């Protein structure tokens, strides 16, 4: 005789409704995991970008008249 076993693993979801009971969005576990992966990746890239060597500091030139460069040059 076969007996049906209840499902042990049940998923979860968060449903967000508007005031007139229309479904606005649904949040599932995969959304949470992707959010956490995005946070970790962003933090990692931020740390790597912050620790990259920056260009050498330039000193101000003593020449008081800077070079004027035309925004458009026609040859």
Task: Give ∠ CA 30-34-35 in degrees, rounded to 5.
Answer: 115
Higher per-residue confidence, 38 vs 60: 38
* 7-30 pLDDT, tens digit each: 656 678 889 999 999 999 998 888
Instruction: Determine the pLDDT at residue 27.
Output: 87
* 42-59 pLDDT, tens digit each: 999 999 999 888 776 566
Tell whether the model's pLDDT for residue 36 goes beyond 90.
yes
Question: Tokens 């049906």 sit at which residue?
Answer: 4
Q: What percent of the chain has pLDDT over 90?
A: 35
């Amino acid at each position: 005789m076969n007996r049906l076993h209840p499902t042990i693993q049940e998923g979860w979801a968060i449903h967000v409704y508007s005031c007139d009971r229309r479904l606005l969005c649904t949040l599932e576990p995969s959304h949470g995991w992707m959010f956490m992966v995005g946070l970790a990746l962003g933090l990692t890239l931020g740390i790597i970008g912050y620790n990259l060597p920056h260009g050498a500091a330039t000193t101000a030139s003593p020449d008081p008249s800077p070079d004027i460069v035309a925004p458009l040059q026609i040859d």
